[in-house]
Every structure is written in C-alpha cells, then in structure tokens.
Amino acid sequence: MTNDAETASILVISAHSGDFVWRAGGAIALSTQRASAVHVLCLSFGERGESQGLWSRPDMTLERVKEARRAEATAAAAVLGASIEFLDLGDYPLRVDAAAVDFMVQVLRTRQPDVLLTHVADDPYNRDHNLAHETTLLTRMVAQAHGHDRSTKPLGASQVLQFEPHQPEVCGFNPDLLLDITEVFDIKAKAMACMTAQDHLLRYYTDLGSRRGVQAVRNGAPSRVTHAEAYQRTFPTVGSDLR
C-alpha cells in the first residue's frame, strides 16, 4: 500500500462502527502484520440504522445499542491488530460539527498517516458514507495547511483509498487496486464474526472476498491468491516507470 510498508501509518475513517471491518478488515490485518500502525476513527456507532440485530431484542435502548456496538468494534479492531476510538456523532443522519473536524485534524497531524482509508464519495443508499468521505478530504486539506496550528507538523500527501461500497455499480466505484488479503482472510473472518449486530453481512463479505480474489488472479496475481479487497485511489500515484 506504500513503498515502505514496514513503517507506514494508516488511518481508517469509518462512518459507522462496523464499516471498517466489512470493507477494510483485510487491509488492516495485512498492514498490522507488516508492522504498520493502523488506527480506526469511527464517526458513529451506527446505533440507529446499522444495528438491526440489536433492535430486534425486547427493551433495547439507544445507549445499550451504543455500548454493544462499541464492544463489538473494539473486539474486531483487537483481532485485526488496530487501535480504535469513537467520536459518537450519531447516525442516520451522521452530523459532523466543527469540534469534530478540529479533533480529526489534530489526529491527522499527530499520526501523520501515509494512507487514509474511507468511504466512496457518492453512495445513494447511505448518505452518512458520503459525509465521511467529504470529511476525510476536508480534514486532510486542513491538516496539510502550514498556517494551521504552528505547534504541529503539517500532513504530507497522504493517499486516500476508497473502500468498496455495498453496491458498487450504483456508487461510481471504479477500483484500481485489488489488494491480496489471502494470508489474512482468516483474521478478517474472525473480526467479522465479532459484529453480531449485523451478522447478516458475514456471508456477503466472505463471498465478496472470494470474487475479488478471482478477479485479482485474472488481473495478474499469482494463482495462489484466493481473497482480495477492492479499493479506488483518490489521488494520482507517482512513479518513474510505466507500470
């Protein structure tokens, strides 16, 4: 994902507490196994719109849903080897205020990520994802400003990789990276199993990993590759040869 994978810093900005597991769990596990530091920022717990399994229980409350979602996501992040924190900005709709923007800019300048992982720009099914994408680009821009908070270091040219949405064909998703996650797919599967509030997605993302693995082989990966995740770069890459 970067030229120096052993020292890379990766920040994942997830609209809801489950998104990073389903969509980027393989990338996270692969990176932490290669000694990269991975930190997950969950903008919300997905407590209203993405906790179907919890709301089906009698006497459920919003706070109990949040507690359960925090526990699930924390357990999944531990399986993947990442650190995690929650901003609790609400969902359906997600609302990002000025204080949250300032906090995220500080995280970016402190952690200096080489790569940011987040949602696509236009998901007609879930506008929370769009806001997470826009907030990622906004805070990246502010964190790069040399005149912002002179006591901290400006962020460099961090790549933003958009992970695959649930229905890519209506989201304008055009992947230009198929990441081989074969060696860590069992770890991703364990992390996905932590997300019991959305356990209906487990089979979907297991099947998706297999399909993307087939496509990776078709695009030149070794035949041993069985699982992959798809990503779309936001910014051009820089190189010295035509590859």
Q: What is the pLDDT of residue 199?
A: 87
The total of other beta-carbon atoms located within 10 Å of residue 130's CB is 18
One-letter identity of residue 41: L
Cα 17 to Cα 70: distance, rounded to the nearest angstrom: 7
Q: Taking the model in full, what pTM does it have?
A: 0.95
Rg of the chain over CA atoms, in angstroms? 17
Q: What is the pLDDT of residue 243?
A: 76
Indicate the pLDDT class of residue 2, thresholds 50, 70 and 90. very low
Cα 76 to Cα 80: distance, rounded to the nearest angstrom: 6
Q: What is the pLDDT of residue 7?
A: 67
Query: What is the per-residue pLDDT across 17-61, written as a single tens digit (0 to 9) for each?
Result: 999 999 999 999 999 999 999 999 999 999 999 998 899 999 999
Residue 148 — left, alpha, or beta (φ > 0 → left; ψ -120 to 50 → alpha)? beta
Residue 71 CB partners (closer than 8 Å, separation 6+):
none
One-letter identity of residue 43: L
Tokens of 218: 């078709």
Tokens of 41: 């920022």
Q: Specify burial of residue 136 (Cβ count, 10 A radius: 0-12, 13-18, 19+).
A: buried
Examine the pLDDT at 3 and tell me if it is beyond 50: no
Is the CB of residue 198 less than 8 Å from the CB of residue 50?
yes
* Mean pLDDT computed over 158-180: 97
Is the CB of residue 186 less than 8 Å from the CB of residue 206?
no
Cα 61 to Cα 182: distance, rounded to the nearest angstrom: 39
* Mean pLDDT computed over 73-89: 98
